[in-house]
């Protein structure tokens, strides 16, 4: 229905009559104008009129719902959105996303999760995909568990593939296998997923399956370069010299076109010791600029050059990497390693990974939970990288070095850590982790240290100047938690558990609750540490691991949380959505 309003105006002494069309578009324009002036009350009035003129237009309802949400009337906003879905246009899946935002602002996280999952599993366009991923992270923290999401419609298998890749990076190979196998049943021609399934089998030690899966890729796509490169690396690992040689003959003659294929072949040839071929490919990427001006690419080319004896060229490339990445110590470190190669002190090829050599070894060791092999402990390049990085690396690098020292544990390492905790210029948190590692590798004598600007001597018990005594039951709680968490949490996380326990006892002392069930307190500590480090965990999971009741874990975790203000600290790091 359309109405007209007659308006008089005087112009040059004459009277004109103007017809104003009073329709939905008219009120929409007035509403937008009011929003521009932050007059939300008027915008609501005009959007309501637009709805009256076109009640079957879902956009009008959504506009009104949006303004109501801005004004904090989340319930009315959701009522309108639900009306759109139930009575006007069920295909407007974005309404589920708007409702999820409203529920989140109302702190109704369960319903926010339900609405967000419905949006992601039904929306094909993916208009709010990035915003949804941020909300997923937020809701997961609030709910204390991952969201109940099985798929993302807009990504059609890419979500599951990305999740599987993340699981591989986290060392959760069995979970990755299950997800990839399910994905390939639905999308059998998804070759990237099949390649990653082969890697997952390989990491799990299921070598026959890994090779068979790669061959499945090659049956579907005989020229799949990623599969050929992976198969070559498998042959090297298994010692299949004849098959490796045949495949190498093919790869040596391969000249890929796309930049990502050039990069894959270059890194593979480097791993296989074909440094001359790797050098030519990396130089091609640098010359064409296809891979961008990344300092890591200059590093890869420099390593290949150094490994074929082109030391001057290698140094030039590392100097260029240094210019592109001025805050990094990595190029300068490798320039230093050239002297060892030039003088013949080391014949070991340099690592292609763009970080200090120990880091990749450390990641592998974390996944396998084994000590560092003797040949690596004695290798001059590896050992020098550790000690050099402890002195000159950034905070994250030093933290990784300290953890790696816990896997070596010899006299030289202990001396380096003792010296480190006495350096006033070093970070206090790093020094406390170093103390934890020294205790972990068997140091029992008092340790001189400089903490918070003061020189003091640390005894065997956890450090706390405000805690006058240390009881056996307190130690038992910590020992139980650390023993149960061992090999599932790294040393930094274990150190943080010790710190949290000492902080709690210090804050509540002398009114420490009576500890009757050691396992219940240990379980609560693990739960809180997992949450602090954003690891997926639930009360049921941790209660089962320690053989205690869920209520006990929840109660103890709440006491620790309240005393130490963990929720406030977490909220400061991960603020709520507006």
Q: 541: pLDDT confidence band, cut at 50, 70 and 90?
A: very high
* Domain boundaries of the chain, sorted by first residue: 19-140, 157-254, 256-354, 473-573
Check if the beta carbon of residue 96 is closer than 8 Å to that of residue 111. Answer: no
Say which range, 245-249, 371-375, 483-487, 521-525, has the weakest mean pLDDT. 371-375
Which range (167-176, 366-375, 477-486, 547-556) has the least confidence? 366-375
Q: Please give the Cα distance from 576 to 571 (Å, whole number).
A: 7
Cβ neighbour number for residue 527 with a 10 Å cutoff? 26
Candidates 3.40.50.1100, 3.40.605.10, 1.25.40.10, 3.40.50.2000; correct CATH number of 19-140? 1.25.40.10
Q: Where are the alpha helices (DSSP H) in 393-467?
A: 395-408, 411-420, 428-440
User: Is there a contact between 326 and 343 (Cβ–Cβ < 8 Å)?
Assistant: no
Q: Report the alpha-carbon distance of residue 63 to residue 80 in Å, rounded.
A: 10
Predicted pLDDT at 27: 66
User: pTM for the full model?
Assistant: 0.42
Averaged over 324-339, what is the pLDDT?
80
Q: What is the pLDDT of residues 435-461, one digit of tens each?
A: 878 877 777 788 888 887 888 887 655
Measured distance CA(188)–CA(210) in Å, rounded: 16
State the CB neighbour count (10 A cutoff) for residue 106: 14
The mean pLDDT of 70-97, rounded to a whole number, is: 87
Neighbour tally for 288: CB within 10 Å: 10
How much is the pLDDT for 380?
A: 40
Tell me, what's the pLDDT at 132?
84
Superfamily of domain 157-254: Tetratricopeptide repeat domain (1.25.40.10)
Asked if the peptide bond before residue 506 counts as cis, ω within 30 degrees of 0, the response is: no
Res 388: pLDDT? 64
The average pLDDT across 546-563 equals: 92
Quick one: pLDDT band at residue 224, thresholds 50, 70, 90? confident
pLDDT of residue 325: 83
* Tens of pLDDT, residues 280-300: 999 988 887 765 568 888 988
What would you report as the CA-atom Rg of the chain, rounded to the nearest whole angstrom?
Answer: 31
What's the average model confidence in pLDDT over 566-570? 61
Three-state DSSP at 7 gives strand
Q: What are phi and psi of 444, to 5 degrees?
A: -115, -15
**Whether residue 4 has pLDDT greater than 80:** no
Least confident piece of the model among 33-47, 174-188, 253-267, 376-390: 376-390
Other CB atoms within 10 Å distance of the CB of residue 118: 17
Q: Could you check whether 157-254 and 256-354 share the same CATH topology?
A: yes
Higher local confidence (pLDDT), 257 or 484: 484
pLDDT of residue 456: 80
Q: How far apart, in whole angstroms, are the C-alpha atoms of residue 386 and residue 380?
A: 10
Is the pLDDT at 521 greater than 90, yes or no? yes
Q: Please determine, for residue 209, whether its predicted confidence score (pLDDT) is greater than 90.
A: no
Task: Identify the pLDDT of residue 364.
Answer: 45
C-beta separation of 4 from 20 below 8 A? yes
Long-range contacts of 395-401 (CB under 8 A, 24+ apart): 395/427, 395/430, 397/329, 397/356, 397/359, 398/426, 398/427, 398/430, 399/430, 399/433, 399/492, 400/358, 400/359, 400/362, 401/358
- For the chain, how long is the longest CA-to-CA vector? 103
Instruction: Say how far residue 157 (Cα) sits from the centre of its chain.
Output: 20
Whether the per-residue pLDDT at 17 is higher than 70: the answer is no
CATH number of 256-354: 1.25.40.10
Pinpoint the alpha helices (H) of 123-222: 129-143, 158-169, 173-186, 191-203, 207-220
Asked if residue 165 lies in contact with residue 173, where contact means CB atoms within 8 angstroms, the answer is no
The Cα-based distances of 281 to 201, 268, 576 in angstroms read 29, 11, 47
Which candidate, 351, 354, 353, places its Cα nearest to that of 376? Answer: 351
The per-residue b/e assignment along 322-347, b for 16 or more CB within 10 angstroms, e otherwise, is beebeebbbbebbbebbebbeeeebe
Report the range of poorest mean pLDDT among 162-176, 278-292, 457-471: 457-471
Neighbour tally for 196: CB within 10 Å: 24
Report DSSP letters for 502-513, one per residue: HHHHHHHTTSPP
Q: What pLDDT score was predicted for residue 435? A: 81
Whether the CB-CB separation of 523 and 548 falls below 8 Å is answered with yes
- pLDDT one-digit tens code per residue, 233-282: 888 877 888 999 999 988 988 888 777 788 889 988 988 889 999 999 99
| Predicted pLDDT of residue 526 | 93
Degrees, nearest 5: CA angle 467-470-474:
110
Q: Phi/psi of residue 17, each to 5°?
A: -115, 125
The average confidence (pLDDT) of the chain is 79
Highest-confidence range of 58-67, 345-354, 376-385, 452-461, by mean pLDDT? Answer: 58-67
Average pLDDT over residues 178-186: 89
> For the range 338-347, what are the long-range contacts, defined as Cβ-Cβ under 8 Å and sequence gap of 24 or more?
338/306, 338/311, 338/314, 340/380, 340/381, 341/306, 341/311, 342/311, 345/380, 346/380, 346/381
Q: What is the dihedral of CA 209, 212, 214, 216, to 10 degrees?
A: -130
Indicate the pLDDT class of residue 399, thresholds 50, 70 and 90: confident
Q: Tell me which of 19-33, 520-534, 559-573 is least confident.
A: 19-33
Which distant-in-sequence residues (6+ apart) come within 8 Å of 216 by Cβ?
194
Share of the chain above pLDDT 90, in %: 14
Mean pLDDT within 227-233: 89
d(C-alpha 211, C-alpha 293), whole Å = 35
* CA 488 – CA 116 distance, rounded (Å): 31
Q: Which residues contact 153 (CB under 8 A, 6 or more apart)?
A: 120, 121, 122, 123, 124, 126
**pLDDT tier at 170, thresholds 50, 70, 90:** low
Q: Would you mind telling me the total number of residues written for the chain in this entry?
A: 578
Least reliable range by pLDDT among 138-147, 359-368, 398-407, 495-504: 359-368
pLDDT at 546 over 90: yes
Q: Using the predicted structure, report yes or no on whether residue 54 has a pLDDT greater than 60.
A: yes
Does 227 have pLDDT greater than 80?
Answer: yes
Of residues 477 and 359, more confidence is placed in 477
Q: Using DSSP bridges, classify how beta strands 447-451 and 14-22 pair: parallel, antiparallel or unpaired.
A: unpaired
In terms of average pLDDT, the best of 28-37, 168-177, 301-310, 444-453 is: 301-310
Comparing C-alpha atoms, which of 188, 265, 184 is closest to residue 223?
A: 265
- DSSP H or E segment with residue 549: none
Higher local confidence (pLDDT), 10 or 26:
26
**Annotation: CATH topology of 473-573:** Cyclin A; domain 1 (1.10.472)
**End-to-end alpha carbon distance in the chain:** 39
**Per-residue pLDDT at 11:** 44
Q: Report whether 408 contacts 358 (CB < 8 A).
A: no
Give the mean model confidence (pLDDT) for residues 310-322. Answer: 90
Please, are residues 511 and 501 in contact by the beta-carbon 8 Å criterion?
Answer: no
8 Å CB contact between 366 and 325: no
Per-residue model confidence as pLDDT tens digits over 114-156: 998 888 888 866 677 778 888 888 888 888 888 887 777 656 6
Least reliable range by pLDDT among 57-71, 257-271, 459-473: 459-473
Q: What are phi and psi of 14, to 5 degrees?
A: -110, 160
Work out the average pLDDT over 1-5: 42
Residue 15 above 70 pLDDT?
no
Q: Could you tell me what percent of the chain has a pLDDT over 70? A: 80
């Amino acid at each position: 229905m359309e109405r007209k309003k007659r308006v008089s105006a005087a112009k040059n002494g004459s009277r004109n009559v103007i017809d104003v069309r009073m329709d939905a578009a008219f009120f929409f324009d007035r509403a937008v104008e009011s929003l521009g002036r932050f007059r939300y009350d008027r915008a609501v009035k005009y959007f309501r009129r637009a709805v009256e003129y076109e009640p079957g237009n879902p956009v009008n309802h959504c506009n009104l719902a949006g303004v109501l949400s801005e004004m904090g009337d989340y319930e009315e906003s959701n009522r309108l959105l639900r009306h759109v879905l139930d009575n006007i246009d069920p295909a407007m899946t974005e309404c589920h996303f708007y409702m999820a935002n409203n529920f989140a602002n109302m702190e109704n996280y369960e319903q926010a999760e339900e609405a967000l999952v419905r949006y992601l599993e039904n929306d094909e366009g993916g208009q709010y995909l990035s915003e949804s991923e941020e909300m997923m992270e937020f809701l997961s923290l609030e709910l204390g568990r991952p969201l109940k999401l099985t798929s993302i419609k807009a990504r059609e298998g890419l979500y599951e593939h990305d999740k599987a890749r993340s699981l591989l990076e986290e060392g959760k190979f069995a979970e990755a296998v299950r997800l990839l196998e399910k994905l390939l049943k639905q999308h059998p021609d998804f070759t990237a997923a099949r390649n990653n399934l082969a890697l997952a089998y390989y990491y799990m030690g299921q070598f026959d399956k890994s090779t068979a899966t790669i061959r499945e890729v090659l049956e579907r796509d005989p020229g799949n370069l990623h599969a050929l490169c992976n198969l070559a690396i498998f042959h090297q690992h298994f010692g299949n010299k004849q098959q490796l040689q045949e495949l190498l003959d093919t790869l040596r003659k391969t000249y890929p076109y796309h930049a990502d294929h050039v990069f894959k072949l270059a890194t593979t040839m480097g791993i296989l010791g074909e440094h001359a071929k790797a050098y030519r490919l990396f130089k091609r990427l640098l010359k064409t600029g296809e891979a961008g001006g990344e300092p890591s690419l200059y590093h890869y080319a420099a390593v290949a050059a150094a490994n074929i004896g082109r030391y001057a060229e290698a140094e030039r490339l590392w100097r260029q990497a240094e210019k592109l990445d001025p805050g990094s110590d990595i190029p300068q470190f490798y320039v230093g390693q050239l002297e060892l190669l030039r003088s013949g002190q080391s014949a070991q090829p340099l690592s292609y990974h763009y970080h200090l050599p120990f880091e990749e070894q450390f990641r592998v060791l974390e996944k396998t939970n084994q000590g560092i092999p003797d040949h690596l402990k004695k290798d001059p390049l590896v050992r020098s990288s550790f000690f050099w990085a402890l002195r000159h690396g950034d905070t994250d690098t030093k933290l990784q070095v300290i953890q790696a020292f816990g896997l070596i544990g010899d006299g030289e390492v202990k001396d380096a850590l003792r010296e480190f905790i006495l350096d006033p210029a070093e970070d206090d948190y790093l020094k406390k982790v170093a103390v934890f590692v020294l205790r972990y590798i068997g140091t029992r004598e008092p340790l001189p240290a400089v903490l918070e600007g003061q020189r003091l001597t640390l005894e065997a018990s956890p450090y706390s100047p405000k805690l006058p005594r240390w009881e056996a039951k307190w130690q038992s709680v910590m020992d139980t938690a650390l023993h149960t968490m061992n090999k599932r949490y790294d040393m930094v996380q274990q150190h943080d558990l010790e710190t949290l326990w000492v902080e709690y006892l210090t804050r509540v002392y002398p009114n420490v609750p009576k500890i009757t069930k050691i396992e219940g307190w240990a379980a609560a500590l693990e739960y809180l540490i997992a949450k602090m480090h954003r690891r997926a965990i639930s009360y049921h999971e941790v209660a089962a691991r320690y053989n205690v009741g869920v209520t006990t874990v929840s109660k103890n975790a709440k006491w620790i949380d309240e005393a130490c203000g963990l929720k406030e600290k977490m909220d400061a790091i991960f603020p709520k959505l507006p």
